[in-house]
Structure 1
Amino acid sequence: MGEFQQQLFTLMGGLIFLFTLVKCVRFLKYLFPQAWNALPPTFFRSMGEWAVITGAGDGIGKAYSFELAKRGLNIVMISRTLEKLQKVATEIEQATGRNVKIIQADFTKDYIYENIKKSLQDLEIGILVNNVGMLHNPLPCRFLNAAETDENLINCNIISITKMTQIILKQMKTRQKGLILNISSGFGAFPYPLYTMYSASKAFVNTFSKALQAEYKAKGIIIQVVAPYAVSTPMTMYQNPSLLVKTAEEVVTASLNYATVGGQTSGCLAHEIMGYILELIPLWVFHSDRLQEVILTTFSSSLKRNWKSC
C-alpha cells in the first residue's frame, strides 16, 4: 500500500509539473509574441480583401476598424447608429486610404441578417470580428434587479455571433483561409455574479468559438476568442485607463499580434497576467455574499461617479 501511494503521489507531482510547464510555455508566447509567432506584414491582408466588424461605431469595434484598415484591408462596419458609422468611416478613409462600406443594423433584432447577407455579396471577406455586445445592466446588480432586456442581450451577444459566422464562414471555407475573432470577456471565464446574463453569454462565445475552431482548423481558418478584462469604452462608462484598465486601441493593437498563438487570448499582456492570477483564486471567493456586497457598494459608486464625469 505504501509503494502504491508513493507511485500515485509521484504521478500526481509529474502531472502538476507538466501542467505548470505547459502554462509557462503558453505564457511565454504572450510575453514574446514576435519571437514565437512573428506575423509577416502581409498576414492580415493575405486572408482576403475585406474585414467585417460588428459593433463598429465606437469602442473596441471602432479600434479594430481603424487598425485593420491600417494593415491593408478594406472595411465593412456594421452597427446601429448611422451617424457614428458615417463619421468613423470618413475618418478611416481619410487616415488610411482604404475603402469603407457601412451597414446600419440593430443586433437586438432578428430580422436584420438577410439584408446584411445581401450587402456582403461579392465581397472577398478575409476577417470577421464579432464584436457587438451589450450588458444586461451597466452597473453590477442581482439578476432580478436588472432591466428586463434578456431577449435583447441574447440576440446581441449570442444570436449575432452565430448568424454572422454562418454568413461569412461559408466563403472562408471555400477559399480555405480566413480569420474570425470573437470578442468575449474575462467575465466569461467563470460564473460571474452580479453580471449573470453577461457572463453566461460570454461563456457561450468561448465554447462556441473553441468548438468551431476544432471543426474548421483543417480548412485553414483561424477562429480565436479575444477575452479582455477592463477596457475603457462606452459600455464600461469610460473607466480611466490605468495599468489594468486598457484603452480599446491598446487591446486591439496587442490582440492582433496574438492572432495565431492559440484558441483564446486576453488581448494584452496585462490582462493575460490578470487571468493567470484570477485562476488561482477559489471560485467560492467570487461567489461569497461579502464580496458581492463590496462590489455593489464600492464598485457601483465608482462607476456612477465616472459616468457623471463623462
Structure 2
Amino acid sequence: MGNVEGVQLTWRNGLDSSEAAEVMGLLDKTAQADGVAPVGEHVILRLKAHRDVIHQIEPVQADVRSEHFVVRDTGGVLIGYAHLDTEHEKATGQLVAELAVHPDHRRRGAGTRLVEALLERAELSLEPAPDLGRLRIWSHGEHPGALRLAERYGFSRPRELWRMGRDLTEPALPVVELPEEVRIRTFRVGRDEAAVVDVNRRAFAWHPEQGGMTEQDLRIKEREEWFDAAGFFLAVDAHDRLLGFHWTKVHPDGMGEVYVVGVDPSAQGGGLGRSLTVSGLRHLRNTGCRRVMLYVEADNAPAIKVYQRLGFEKWDTDVQFGR
C-alpha cells in the first residue's frame, strides 16, 4: 500500500517477534499518553502469541483471525498500527478493527491512512455512506481523534461500552447473601474449565465476544501473569453444579476489575449475580485494591442499575463506530 505525505503503510497477515515487540511498545506509549489502552485484551493476547518464535517453525507466525496494518514514517519508525479481527468475516461478513497512533506523530496522516486502508479492505467507499454493518472500529475512551475521523468518513455509533468504577473503601460493601443450598468456592485449575465455558456460553449467548469463549481461550488466560484462581469465584448448588461465576482481575497498577460475571439463565432472577459480584469486590478489597472497575454495555439498563446500587459510577465510554 502507498504513501500519504510520507506515511508508509503495509499490510501483514503475521508479525515476526521483532515487529510484534515494536507494536506492543507503541500500544504501551499510547496507553500512557491517553490513560486508556488503545486495543482490547484479545489483541494483546494475539500479539503475545507472535513474540515467542523459538518454538515456531517459521519466523513469522500468522493468525488466521488477525490482519495487521503497520504505518512507518520515512525513517522507518513505527508510528501507527491497526489490528483487524477477521474471525467472524465468513459467518457474518463483519470485520472489527482497533488502532493506535504514536502520541508524538498525531494529526500527520497516520490515523487517516489506517482508516482508509481498513475501508479499502472492507471494500467500502471512502465517501460517507449508510451503516452497512461491514466494518466496526473501536475507540477506547472515545478519543477526540477517533471522533474526528468517524465524522469525516460517515461512521455511525452502533455500540457503546461504559467503563464504571468505584472506590473500595467507601461506600461500605454489602454482605454476601446466598440462596439456600448455594455456596461459593474458588476455581480449580484443570477441573472447572468445561463447566465455566458451558455456563458462560448460555449466560452470554447474546454477547458478540464473550459468548464465544472456548476452553482453549480460558486456558490461555490461565497462563497470564494476572490470573489468580483465588480471585475466581464459582457459585455451586448442593451437588457442586455450577450456577454462576465471578472472575476478578488485578491490573499491574493495582486496579481491580470485575472481569466477568456470568449466571446460568436457569439461576437468574434470585440475586445470585449480585452476591457473586459482592464476593469478588470483598476479595479485591482484602487483597489491597483501592479501586475497582468494570465494563458494561451502555444499553444494558438492568445491569447498570445493579452496579449503580453497588456504588459504581460511569467513568468513560468505549465507542464502536460502524459502516
**TM range, smaller chain:** under 0.3
The two structures have a TM-score, normalised by structure 2, of 0.26
Higher RCO structure, 1 or 2 (CA under 8 Å, sep 6+): 2
Q: Which has the higher strand share?
A: 2
The two structures have a TM-score, normalised by structure 1, of 0.26
